[in-house]
Amino acid sequence: MTPFSIPSVQIEKRLFNLQEHLRVNRLDGALIIQRVDLIYFSGTAQNGCLYVPAHEAPLLFIKRSYARARKESPLKHVLRIQSLKDVPGLIQDFYSTLPKKLGLELDVMPVNQFRYIESLFPGCRPADASGWILAIRSIKSGWEIAQMTQTADMSAKTFAYIQAALQEGYTEMEFAGIFETFARRHGHAGKIRIRDYQTEGYSWHVLSGRSGSLPGLLDSPASGQGTSLAFPCGAGQKKLQANEPIMVDFAAVLNGFHMDETRMFAIDTMPDKAMQACEDAINIHDFILEKAGPGISTGALFKMARDRADALGCAGSFLGIPGNKVRFIGHGIGHELIEPPIIAEGGQEILRPGMTFALEPKLVVKNEFTAGIESVFTVTGKGTRLISRVPVKIFVC
């Protein structure tokens, strides 16, 4: 195993920011249970939870493995528990009081668990702490961006392999498995973290020719070609062919840090219509990277992208076919694949240095193909900088 740990200075700063939010919002403490939040604030993802009081040192409660948690977490107070039932008594013993207003991750906590926690803290008023947690996580430190850069290096190697290995005859699903195997040899963990309970995280998006246009598939008989109708996204059983656009959207994760990138490929030649769409997507991509920076709202960036598509003459296919268009061109990324803020229509969030985004302008031509590009960038003090290492180009193999 390659040792990996989160530096104590990172944990200290994160906890300081969380406690500041607790004090400003007059909460006595927060109970952190969601796995990504737990490792973010404690340094370990072992089975347990973290209690962060507004003014004092936190308590980390671990069911198992206690020994590993002690090794991974820089926190001073790590206590064994048999179940969540033990937590209130230990909090009472340690601080001589129980919280009267307690922050919880209500965006992801199941109702049954919420009710159970309520029963453990009678008379305590719950509050949703998820917004503050995600706001803290949205600003990445230099160390975190360095970790994302390592993931970007692994992803760039995978895209280079995709270019070398791409050939006719593979099904989309088969080829996805081939390049994911390569990525796993180079550290890709395979498990993509998604906070939304209705969304699955996976790496295998390969859409070739008409399978890149869902309406085209729905208009066709179910012949086993294209994207699986049982799970209508990702890769399907269509075979890759020469002289057609092939979109590869690869999500990678290394040591818990995510990348999300898309590039367009073709075997032998790219059809002229698809080539123009690919170039338009890159044009919008580069335009937004040039215009983005601290102080700009996410909604303003979305409008710039849509106006650019209109100027290029591709507004009809930008972000989907008429009647089925999405209303975003990018999303936050880092500890999970999709994090706030979202670069979306009407968005009011303001870009700040340290934010990291996956920018993904895409065009869909009904019954023909999808063209697009996706890169990860960070907001700097003056503008933006690409974290992605994959060349911004169209790959004709």
Give the C-alpha separation, 173 to 9, whole Å.
Answer: 43
Model confidence at 273, in pLDDT bands (50, 70, 90)?
Answer: very high
- pLDDT tops 70 at residue 13: yes
Give the C-alpha separation, 29 to 303, whole Å.
Answer: 40
| Mean pLDDT value of segment 293-316 | 98
pTM, rounded to two decimals: 0.93
- pLDDT tops 70 at residue 173: yes
Measured CA to CA in angstroms, residue 64 lies from 38, 130, 171 at distances of 14, 25, 42
**What does pLDDT average to over the chain?**
93
Model confidence at 283, in pLDDT bands (50, 70, 90)?
Answer: very high
| Mean pLDDT value of segment 1-15 | 91
List the structure tokens of 232.
């209508």
- pLDDT tops 50 at residue 252: yes
Q: Can you give the pLDDT at residue 201?
A: 82
Model confidence pLDDT, tens digit, residues 322-376 = 888 999 999 999 999 999 999 999 999 999 999 999 999 999 999 899 999 999 9
For residue 329, count other CB atoms closer than 10 A to its CB: 28
Q: What percent of the chain has pLDDT over 90?
A: 87
| Mean pLDDT value of segment 146-172 | 97
List the structure tokens of 66.
């206690």
Contacts of 16 (CB under 8 A, 6+ apart): none
Domain ranges of the chain: 8-137, 140-396
Q: Can you give the pLDDT at residue 224?
A: 42
- CATH, domain range 8-137: 3.40.350.10
Q: Can you give the pLDDT at residue 324?
A: 87
Model confidence at 104, in pLDDT bands (50, 70, 90)?
Answer: very high
Q: Can you give the pLDDT at residue 157?
A: 98
Interhelix angle 35-42/130-138, rounded to 10 degrees, is: 60
| Mean pLDDT value of segment 155-166 | 98
Torsion angle defined by CA atoms of residues 312, 314, 319 and 325, in that order, rounded to the nearest 10 degrees: 130
For residue 332, give the 3-state DSSP assignment.
Answer: strand
Please give the DSSP secondary-structure letter assigned to residue 33: -
Which CATH number applies to 140-396: 3.40.50.1370, 3.50.50.60, 3.30.413.10, 3.90.230.10?
3.90.230.10
Model confidence pLDDT, tens digit, residues 188-231 = 998 899 998 888 888 778 999 988 776 544 444 443 444 444 44
- pLDDT tops 70 at residue 305: yes
HSE of 219, CA atoms in CB hemisphere, 13 A:
9
Q: Comparing 46 with 212, which gets the higher pLDDT?
A: 46
Q: Can you give the pLDDT at residue 1?
A: 54
Model confidence pLDDT, tens digit, residues 373-397 = 999 999 999 999 999 999 999 999 9
Interhelix angle 35-42/8-24, rounded to 10 degrees, is: 110
- pLDDT tops 90 at residue 235: no
The pairing of strands 205-208 and 257-266 is unpaired
Please give the DSSP secondary-structure letter assigned to residue 319: T
Please name every residue paired with 363 in a beta bridge, in sequence order, or none if there are none: 318, 371
Model confidence at 33, in pLDDT bands (50, 70, 90)?
Answer: very high
| Mean pLDDT value of segment 296-319 | 97
Scored b (16 or more CB within 10 A) or e, 270-297 reads: beeebbbbbbbbbbbbbbbbeebbbebb
Model confidence pLDDT, tens digit, residues 47-92 = 999 999 999 999 999 999 999 999 999 999 999 999 999 999 999 9
For residue 224, count other CB atoms closer than 10 A to its CB: 10
Question: Identity (one letter) of the amino acid at 189?
Answer: A
| Mean pLDDT value of segment 138-155 | 98
HSE of 298, CA atoms in CB hemisphere, 13 A:
23
